[in-house]
Amino acid sequence: GGEVIMAADGATTGLLEHGMTPDVIVTDLDGPVEDQIACNGRGTIVVVHAHGDNIDALRRWVPLFPGPLLGTTQVEPVDPLRNFGGFTDGDRAVMLADALGASEILLHGFDFSRPGRYSFHRDRAVKMAKLQWARRIIGMARAPVTYLDGLSPL
């Protein structure tokens, strides 16, 4: 194995702004989907999460992805969907990496104290509660998780 760069939804745009294309994008399609489609056309694997609140987005966007896709769900999966665990795109990416046998997981720009620049949310209180769930879920990873940028899970 080697290094795999995974982006959680809106972080895709941040990577592109820095001249980087992720190897994998984990998304529920509430971020800048056009950037995700562009990356997918260049070979990025897109892991699309289906849930009750994004059925319209799934119908609108999934047919436009030209490259490799993997579908996930947070309930009992029906083929070809998979459930690797996770609640937000960020912690779902960590659980995916962990399930695939990552020896170490490095998180860049992951801050549980506030929604990030590339994080999309309608209700700040709901987003903050989701970030606390993300912190708990990331803590369940078997692989060691390191927070870069001086940010920590506290």
Per-residue pLDDT tens digits for 42-84: 999 999 999 999 999 999 999 999 999 999 999 999 999 999 9
Looking at the chain, the whole-number percentage of residues with pLDDT higher than 90 is 76
Report CA-CA distances (Å) from 79 to 35, 58, 63, 76: 27, 17, 18, 10
Identity (one letter) of the amino acid at 116? G
Residue 1 placed within a domain = no
Does residue 36 belong to any structural domain of this protein? yes
Residue keyed to tokens 């870069």: 148
The residue written with tokens 């801050």 in the block is 111
In a domain, residue 152? The reply is no
The Cα–Cα gap between 22 and 31 comes to: 15
Q: Is residue 16 part of a domain?
A: yes
**CB proximity list for 91: less than 8 A, separation 6 or greater:** 133, 134, 137, 138
More confident: 130 or 82: 82
Number of domains in the chain: 1
Quote the pLDDT of residue 126.
86
29 contacts 54 by C-beta, under 8 angstroms: yes
129 part of a folded domain: yes
Range of the domain at 19: 6-147
Query: In angstroms, what is the C-alpha Rg of the chain?
Result: 15
The reply to whether 154 falls in a domain is: no
Conformational region of residue 22, where left means phi above 0, alpha means psi within -120 to 50, and beta covers everything else: beta
Q: How many CA atoms lie within 13 A of 129 on its CB side?
A: 4
The predicted pLDDT at position 121 comes to 61
* 153 belongs to a structural domain: no
Q: What percent of the chain has pLDDT over 70?
A: 90
